[in-house]
């Protein structure tokens, strides 16, 4: 395979090994076209919040229930704007500066938004970790990005992130600061003590990278996705229009706030773009979310399919008034047509399906699509400039209606992962199309239907697991000779993970429970620990002798 063309502009950086490498970005002529078309409006996140705070300072921007003893807190746009400035000043005083990376692992609280806007204003790059990540993932994010700071909740869902931070700190030479929200910071600094008198900061360039998002991934380690102000603000604007957000919209952030879906589709940032109100929901379970919908007058939210099913079931006979809810977005994994049909009758709201990816492309069914399109398709792209190709294994375009590999390119889809030259050569075509790894077809009406996946990944109810990452952890066990992780059907999650393991000859017999514990203790997020482990003597192989994951999956499927 030949090397992809490397546009000259980009984020100059170096690989961890020190080799200079420029992360590919949009070629200059393409960028100029996106600006001329008005997709890129030259607005930074810092300026966006400033504008909104000037236009409607007293309107509530964000609500959470993370005050002392779980009390309600509401920040107006003016509050959020000022708090972001004060936090930026305090972080700057601690030496955090433009271009620095900061790993953010916060639950759904107002601090999450304060912090990311503070970092956007500083020009420091949030690296968006999920609360479920543990030492394995966080240490990797910190060391790979050379992060200087890591921000955590003290204790969240019974887990002490301060202990995790101690482990991470010992493994991450560049890490200088750990900031803790909510209560006792332990040996670290409380984020509440950081804010200082605002200082003037240079305005950021809208074309620069604003943050690093995580890929679902299909390789040994997660890849990092550089998103610019220009491209991401465009995806927010497009999403807000498609979901008809305005200043009366109240968005419930029920999924983990840092994930691309609740962040931008249209998510908390799209809601702030539109001047609406974000309600932070600590957990997405109906008993937590339903009272918030009632009390806060929530109009729109987004869920992964298993949660949409749980909400649909719980809505029958609920004492809570859900009548304010206008729209439920469902995405992250395939929603079955049958489940889709149940949503409006049960919840009394419109459904919008979302098929998106942190790398860029986001498709929505539209609110004026006919009901059959809404329940049977995953929508169409945000932008008229989103380019879609559906190809065979040799990258040849297929006739309309045929199922094939989805390739995409456009004004908010990255041209390369951050510092990943070898991977970029495989994950993008020479002319800059991203290989999504999804198998899709196009309906005559121009909507996409997701039919499957070619990437080596398990989509566990919207949580993505790279098979290779888990296999590597299993292989580290002395009694494991070889391991293959595949998806198997699950009635609730859609898919769960199953590890097929060949034991090492003569090694002590380790059972499934012990092997799961081993993987967990290596510091892997709980959702990546195999749901099932099956010991086998050999793996099925293809005609050329390669291990056939297809046949392994078939073994897992119900007869
Ligand atoms: C969202 O983003 P990621 O980066 O966690 O995962 C992207 C992948 C897609 O490539 C696809 O494999 C799968 O998740 N996916 C879907 C889907 N939505 C995402 N598969 C079938 N049907 C759907 N509706 O998951 C994400 C980002 C922004 C908005 C929504 C979801």
Residue 462 lies in a domain: yes
Contact criterion met (CB below 8 Å) for 533 and 484:
no
pTM: 0.95
**Residue at which a domain ends, from 384, 409, 424:** 384
Residue 413 lies in a domain: no
Distance from C-alpha of 335 to C-alpha of 494, rounded to nearest angstrom: 9
- One domain, residues 344 and 465: no
Minimal CA–CA distance to 496: which of 534, 547, 537? 534
Residue 417 lies in a domain: no
Which ligand 1 atom sits closest to the C-alpha of 455? 12
State if residue 355 touches ligand 1 by the CB under 6 angstroms criterion.
yes
State if residue 378 touches ligand 1 by the CB under 6 angstroms criterion.
yes
- One domain, residues 344 and 237: yes
Residue 125 lies in a domain: yes
- One domain, residues 461 and 365: no
- Give residue 536's region: left, alpha or beta (phi > 0; psi -120 to 50): beta
Structure tokens at 208: 């620069």
Return the SS3 of 67.
coil
State if residue 448 touches ligand 1 by the CB under 6 angstroms criterion.
no
Structure confidence at residue 20 (pLDDT): 64
Q: What is the ipTM of this complex?
A: 1.00
Over its length of 559 residues, how does the chain's per-residue pLDDT go in tens digits? 333 333 334 444 444 545 567 899 999 999 999 999 999 999 999 999 999 999 999 999 999 999 988 999 999 999 999 999 999 999 999 999 999 999 999 999 999 999 999 999 999 999 999 999 999 999 999 999 999 999 999 999 999 999 999 999 999 999 999 999 998 999 999 999 999 999 999 999 999 999 999 998 888 889 999 999 999 999 999 999 999 999 999 999 999 999 999 999 999 999 999 999 999 999 999 999 999 999 999 999 999 999 999 999 999 999 999 999 999 999 999 999 999 999 999 999 999 999 999 999 999 999 999 999 999 999 999 999 999 999 999 999 999 999 999 999 999 999 999 999 999 999 999 999 999 999 999 999 999 999 999 999 999 999 999 999 999 999 999 999 999 999 999 999 999 999 999 999 998 889 999 999 999 999 999 999 999 999 999 999 998 889 999 999 998 777 6
- One domain, residues 355 and 475: no
Structure confidence at residue 18 (pLDDT): 52
Structure tokens at 47: 């300026």
Residue 278 lies in a domain: yes
Q: How many whole angstroms from 357 Cα to the centroid of ligand 1?
A: 5
Residue 451 lies in a domain: no
Minimal CA–CA distance to 329: which of 277, 263, 393? 263
Contact criterion met (CB below 8 Å) for 449 and 441:
yes
Overall number of domains in the chain: 2
Residue 423 lies in a domain: no
Distance from C-alpha of 461 to C-alpha of 382, rounded to nearest angstrom: 24
Find the domain containing 531 and state its range.
456-556
Q: How many whole angstroms from 215 Cα to the centroid of ligand 1?
A: 10
**Residue at which a domain ends, from 354, 384, 414:** 384
The contacts found for 140-143 with CB under 8 angstroms, 24 or more apart, are 140/221, 140/222, 141/103, 141/214, 141/222, 141/224, 142/103, 142/168, 142/171, 142/172, 142/174, 142/175, 143/16, 143/171, 143/172, 143/173, 143/174
Q: How many whole angstroms from 436 Cα to the centroid of ligand 1?
A: 10
Minimal CA–CA distance to 405: which of 380, 429, 369, 430? 429
Structure confidence at residue 59 (pLDDT): 98
**Residue at which a domain ends, from 384, 407, 439:** 384
The domain that holds 312 is classified in CATH as 3.40.50.12780
Residue 23 lies in a domain: no
334 DSSP assignment: P
Q: Half-sphere exposure of 541 toward its Cβ, with a 13 Å CA cutoff?
A: 6
H or E stretch at 77: helix 77-93
- One domain, residues 363 and 476: no
State if residue 450 touches ligand 1 by the CB under 6 angstroms criterion.
yes
- One domain, residues 153 and 53: yes
Judge residue 512's burial from the number of C-beta atoms within 10 Å of its C-beta, 0-12 exposed, 13-18 middle, 19 or more buried. Answer: middle
Q: How many whole angstroms from 505 Cα to the centroid of ligand 1?
A: 40
Minimal CA–CA distance to 500: which of 559, 438, 558, 554? 554
The domain that holds 482 is classified in CATH as 3.30.300.30
State if residue 332 touches ligand 1 by the CB under 6 angstroms criterion.
yes
- One domain, residues 203 and 58: yes
Contact criterion met (CB below 8 Å) for 245 and 266:
yes
| Cβ-count burial 187-220 (b if 16+ within 10 Å, e if not) | ebbebeebbbebeebeebebbbbbbbbbbbbbbe
Distance from C-alpha of 56 to C-alpha of 224, rounded to nearest angstrom: 35
Structure confidence at residue 328 (pLDDT): 98
State the helix-helix crossing angle for 337-347 and 305-315, rounded to 10 degrees: 40
SS3 content of the chain, % helix, strand, coil (to 5): 30, 25, 40
* Residue bearing the CA closest to ligand 1, atom 3: 357
CA distances from 28 to 7, 8, 178, 227, 429 (A): 8, 8, 38, 17, 18
Q: How many whole angstroms from 255 Cα to the centroid of ligand 1?
A: 13
Distance from C-alpha of 325 to C-alpha of 486, rounded to nearest angstrom: 37
Judge residue 180's burial from the number of C-beta atoms within 10 Å of its C-beta, 0-12 exposed, 13-18 middle, 19 or more buried. Answer: buried
- Give the mutation target among 216, 254, 357 for probing the ligand 1 site: most ligand atoms within 8 A of CB: 357
Four-CA torsion 541, 546, 550, 554, nearest 10 degrees:
20
Structure tokens at 148: 């200087």
State if residue 438 touches ligand 1 by the CB under 6 angstroms criterion.
yes
Which ligand 1 atom sits closest to the C-alpha of 359? 4
Judge residue 540's burial from the number of C-beta atoms within 10 Å of its C-beta, 0-12 exposed, 13-18 middle, 19 or more buried. Answer: middle
* Residue bearing the CA closest to ligand 1, atom 14: 332
């Amino acid at each position: 395979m030949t090397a992809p063309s490397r546009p000259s502009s980009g984020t100059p950086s170096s690989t961890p090994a020190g080799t200079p490498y420029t992360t590919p970005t949009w070629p200059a002529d393409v960028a100029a076209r996106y600006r001329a078309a008005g997709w890129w409006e030259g607005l930074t996140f810092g300026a966006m919040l400033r504008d909104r705070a000037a236009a409607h300072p007293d309107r509530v921007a964000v609500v959470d229930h993370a005050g002392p003893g779980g009390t309600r807190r509401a920040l107006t746009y003016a509050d959020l704007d000022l708090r972001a400035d004060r936090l930026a000043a305090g972080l700057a005083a601690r030496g955090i500066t433009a271009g620095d990376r900061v790993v953010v692992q916060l639950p759904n609280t107002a601090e999450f938004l304060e912090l990311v806007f503070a970092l956007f204003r500083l020009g420091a790059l949030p690296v968006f970790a999920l609360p479920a990540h543990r030492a394995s993932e966080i240490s990797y994010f910190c060391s790979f990005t050379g992060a200087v700071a890591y921000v955590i909740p003290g204790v969240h869902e019974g887990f002490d992130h301060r202990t995790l931070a101690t482990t991470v700190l010992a493994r991450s030479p560049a890490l200088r600061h750990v900031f803790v929200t909510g209560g006792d910071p332990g040996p670290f600094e409380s984020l509440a003590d950081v804010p200082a008198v605002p200082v003037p900061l240079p305005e950021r360039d809208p074309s620069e990278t604003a943050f690093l998002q995580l890929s679902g991934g299909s390789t040994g380690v997660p890849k990092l996705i550089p998103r610019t102000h220009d491209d991401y603000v465009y995806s927010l604007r497009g999403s807000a229009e498609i979901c008809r957000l305005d200043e009366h919209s109240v968005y419930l952030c029920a999924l983990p706030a840092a994930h691309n879906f609740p962040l931008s589709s249209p998510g908390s940032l799209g809601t702030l773009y539109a001047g609406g109100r974000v309600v932070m929901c600590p957990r997405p379970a109906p008993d937590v979310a339903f009272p918030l919908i009632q009390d806060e007058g929530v109009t729109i939210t987004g869920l992964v399919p298993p949660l949409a099913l749980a909400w649909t079931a719980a809505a029958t006979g609920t004492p809570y008034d859900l009548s304010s809810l206008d729209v439920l977005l469902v995405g992250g994994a395939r929603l079955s047509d049958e489940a889709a049909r149940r949503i409006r009758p049960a919840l009394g709201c419109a459904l919008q399906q979302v098929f998106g990816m942190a790398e860029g492309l986001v498709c929505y069914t539209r609110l004026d699509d006919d009901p059959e399109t809404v329940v049977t398709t995953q929508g169409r792209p945000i932008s008229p400039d989103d380019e879609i190709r559906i190809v065979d294994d040799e990258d040849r375009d297929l006739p309309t209606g045929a199922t094939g590999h989805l390739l995409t390119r456009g004004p908010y889809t990255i041209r390369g992962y951050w510092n990943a030259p070898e991977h970029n050569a495989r994950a993008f075509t020479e002319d800059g199309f991203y290989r999504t790894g999804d198998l899709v077809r196009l309906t005559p009406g121009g909507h996409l239907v997701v039919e499957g996946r070619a990437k080596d990944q398990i989509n566990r109810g919207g949580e993505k697991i790279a098979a290779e990452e888990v296999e590597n952890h299993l292989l580290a066990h002395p009694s494991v000779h070889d391991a293959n992780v595949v998806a198997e059907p699950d009635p609730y999650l859609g898919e769960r993970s199953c590890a097929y393991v060949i034991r090492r000859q003569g090694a002590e017999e380790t059972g499934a429970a012990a092997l799961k514990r081993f993987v967990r203790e290596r510091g892997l997020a709980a959702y990546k620990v195999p749901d099932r482990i099956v010991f086998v003597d050999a793996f099925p192989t293809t005609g050329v002798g390669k291990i056939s994951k297809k046949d392994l999956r078939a073994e897992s499927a119900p007869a």
